[in-house]
């Protein structure tokens, strides 16, 4: 089976590709920046480096929010042809924290109270009714860079003015006191395969490792595991990094990452996460391919019954043509029959001779 990993070429993606090579016959790394998608009324083409994208049984596509539209388009077009662990919608939802929270809400997944406003006045009103500290967050921030902390109405109000002047959209969120830590649960398929707790650096509220935080392995409780798997399912991703705040009233999901890094979690949890991903991709691709084959067979039979025509490639043994079994069954020609072969350039026809 052939697989491809579409990514920005990070170390994580390279590790995942290497692990996939242990399972698949062939694994191709595709640079997301070199993809081009052309859609028209009756056609949709995906080009890679200017040429038609090859055919793959499995495509694991990932990339930052800058590529969310391209990846959503690609997976919409290829759905049904290749097995893909991430649903098309997930590429746009998971890269927007507001859409993520809305989706999690509809699935009853616990999360911090989150507010959205359409005017500055409405936002100020929300801010005046909140208990401090609070969090203000950019919908598309990553690595902790779009997370702002305000410890009073005064500071929240001036942050609000700055965000408004910059035309930056944001959400307002209750601050969850976790002692400055959060949990990354790495979901593959129906289970959490690895998890770690991240603790923020002294004087820092955000526990991202990119923000100087450090991480360690954790034995995640059953409830958090269930919530993480549910959040990944709601997002539409079989491979998903779920961020959970262990709040005083229980675990709360703040984010689902569909392009999660495997390096840190592998180091801290001691689990070979890339291998878990590769194994899962392989098993799922195997069943996808067998269902696809059955479907293809059925389609061929339908086509044959309607027209008696079959469009296919031929098998050759040395220089002899082996016809598909379906041709024998459909024509009812047996080894006892005498046949007439008519040949010309680009054409062969076989007719049973009526001996009587
Ligand atoms: N509501 C919150 N309460 C307390 N801390 C938060 C809250 N939201 C985010 N944080 C802190 O900020 C970090 C980054 O937030 P997150 O929403 O995961 O954005 P990013 O995509 O930048 O990682 C979290 O890991 C957590 O430490
Ligand atoms: Mg995060």
User: Which pLDDT does position 211 carry in this prediction?
Assistant: 76
- 88 with 127, same domain? no
> Is 143 a member of any domain?
yes
Most informative mutation of 100, 144, 175, 211 for ligand 1 (most atoms within 8 A of CB): 144
> Residue 323 falls within a domain, yes or no?
yes
| 27 and 57 together in one domain | yes
Ligand nearest to the CA of 101: 1
User: Domains in the chain: how many in total?
Assistant: 3
Closest ligand 1 atom, residue 137 Cα: 17
CATH (domain of 150): 3.30.1490.20
Q: Using a 6 Å cutoff on CB, does residue 257 contact ligand 1?
A: no
Residues 67 and 137 in one domain: no
Residues 295 and 121: their CA atoms lie apart, in Å, by 57
Atom 13 of ligand 1, nearest CA residue? 206
Q: Which domain holds residue 36?
A: 2-93
Closest ligand relative to 200 C-alpha: 1
d(CA 140, CA 236): 18
Q: Is residue 253 part of a domain?
A: no
CATH assignment of the domain containing 20: 3.40.50.20
Q: Is the domain of 39 the same as that of 84?
A: yes
User: Rounded to an integer, what distance in angstroms lies between the CA atom of residue 126 and that of residue 119?
Assistant: 11
208 lines ligand 1 (CB under 6 A): yes
262 CA to centre of ligand 2 in angstroms = 14
Same domain, 128 and 89: no
Q: How many CB atoms lie within 10 A of CB 223?
A: 11
Specify if 184 maps to a domain. no
Residue 176 CA to ligand 1 center (angstroms) comes to 9
Pairing, β 58-61 against β 2-7: parallel
DSSP three-state, residue 274: helix
- Beta strand residue intervals within the chain, DSSP E: 2-7, 26-31, 35-40, 43-48, 51-52, 58-61, 114-115, 134-137, 147-150, 171-174, 181-188, 191-199, 214-217, 239-247, 250-257, 315-317, 320-322, 339-344, 347-352
Whether residues 117 and 86 share a domain: the answer is no
CA of 147 to the centre of ligand 2 (A): 9
Distance CA 101, CA 109 (A): 9
Share of the chain above pLDDT 70, in %: 99
Asked whether residue 120 falls in the same domain as residue 82, the answer is no
Same domain for 56 and 26? Answer: yes
CB 37, CB 44: distance < 8 Å: yes
Nearest CA to ligand 1 atom 25: 207
Count CA atoms closer than 13 A to 36's CA, side-chain side: 8
**Distance in Å, CA 158 to ligand 2 centroid:** 25
pLDDT at residue number 180: 80
Tokens of 197: 């707790």
Query: In whole angstroms, what is the distance from residue 184 CA to residue 253 CA?
Result: 10
pLDDT score recorded for residue 157: 96
Residue 36 vs residues 133, 202, 259: alpha-carbon distances, Å: 45, 45, 20
The last residue of a domain, from among 157, 175, 193 = 175
Pair (36, 89) in one structural domain: yes
pTM of the model: 0.84
* Structural domain includes residue 354: yes
Q: What is the pLDDT of residue 356?
A: 59
| Model pLDDT, residue 47 | 95
What six digits make up the tokens of 210?
């990119």
Pocket test for ligand 1, best of 182, 209, 253 (most atoms within 8 A of CB): 182
Q: Are residues 76 and 18 in the same domain?
A: yes
Q: In this structure, is residue 187 part of a structural domain? A: no
In sequence order, what are the beta bridge partners of 43?
A: 40
Domain C-terminal end among 128, 159, 175 = 175
pLDDT at 292: 87
User: Both 37 and 87 in a single domain?
Assistant: yes
Output the CA 45–ligand 1 centroid distance in Å. 38
Query: What pLDDT is attached to residue 201?
Result: 81
Boundary (domain end) residue, out of 37, 58, 93:
93
Give a yes or no: residue 20 inside a domain: yes
pLDDT per residue, tens digit, the chain (356 aa), is 999 999 999 999 999 999 999 999 999 999 999 999 999 888 889 999 999 999 999 999 999 989 999 999 999 999 989 999 999 999 999 999 999 999 999 999 999 999 998 899 999 999 999 999 999 999 988 888 889 999 999 999 999 999 999 999 999 999 999 988 899 999 999 999 999 999 888 787 777 777 777 899 999 999 999 999 999 999 999 999 999 999 999 999 999 999 999 999 999 999 999 999 999 999 999 999 999 888 888 887 887 778 888 878 788 888 899 998 888 888 889 999 999 999 999 999 999 997 65
Question: Residue 337 domain-assigned?
Answer: yes
My answer on whether 7 and 86 are in the same domain is: yes
Could you tell which of 181, 245, 260 is best to mutate to test the pocket of ligand 1, judged by most ligand atoms within 8 Å of the CB?
Answer: 245
């Amino acid at each position: 089976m052939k697989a491809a990993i579409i990514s920005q070429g990070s170390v994580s993606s390279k590790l995942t590709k290497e692990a996939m090579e242990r399972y698949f016959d062939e694994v191709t790394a595709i640079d997301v920046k070199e993809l081009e998608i052309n859609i028209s009324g009756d056609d949709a083409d995906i080009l890679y480096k200017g040429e038609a994208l090859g055919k793959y049984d499995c495509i694991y596509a990932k990339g930052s929010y800058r590529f969310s539209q391209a990846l959503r388009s690609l997976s919409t077009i290829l759905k049904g042809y290749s097995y893909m662990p991430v649903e098309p919608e997930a590429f746009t939802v998971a890269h927007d924290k507001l859409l993520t929270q809305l989706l999690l809400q509809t699935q009853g997944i616990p999360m911090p109270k989150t507010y959205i406003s359409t005017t500055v006045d409405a936002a100020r009103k929300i801010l005046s009714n909140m208990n401090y500290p609070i969090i203000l967050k950019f919908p598309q921030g990553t690595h902790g860079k779009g997370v702002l902390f305000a410890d009073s109405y005064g500071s929240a109000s001036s942050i609000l003015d700055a965000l408004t002047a910059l035309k930056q959209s944001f959400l307002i969120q209750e601050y969850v006191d976790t002692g400055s830590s959060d949990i990354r649960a790495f979901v593959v398929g129906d289970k959490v395969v690895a998890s770690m707790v991240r603790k923020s650096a002294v004087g820092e509220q955000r526990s991202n490792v990119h923000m100087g935080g450090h991480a360690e392995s954790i034995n995640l409780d059953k409830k958090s595991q269930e919530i993480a798997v549910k959040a990944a399912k709601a997002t539409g991703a079989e491979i998903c990094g779920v961020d959970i705040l262990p709040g005083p009233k229980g675990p709360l999901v703040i984010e689902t990452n569909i392009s999660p890094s495997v390096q840190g979690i592998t180091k801290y949890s001691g689990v070979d996460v890339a291998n878990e991903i590769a194994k899962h991709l392989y098993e799922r691709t195997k069943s996808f391919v067998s269902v696809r084959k059955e479907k293809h067979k059925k389609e061929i039979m339908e086509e044959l019954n309607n027209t008696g025509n079959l469009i296919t490639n031929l098998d050759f043994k040395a220089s002899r043509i082996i016809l598909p079994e379906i041709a024998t069954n459909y024509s009812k020609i047996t080894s006892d029959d005498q046949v007439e072969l008519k040949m010309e350039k680009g054409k062969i026809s076989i007719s049973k001779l009526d001996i009587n």
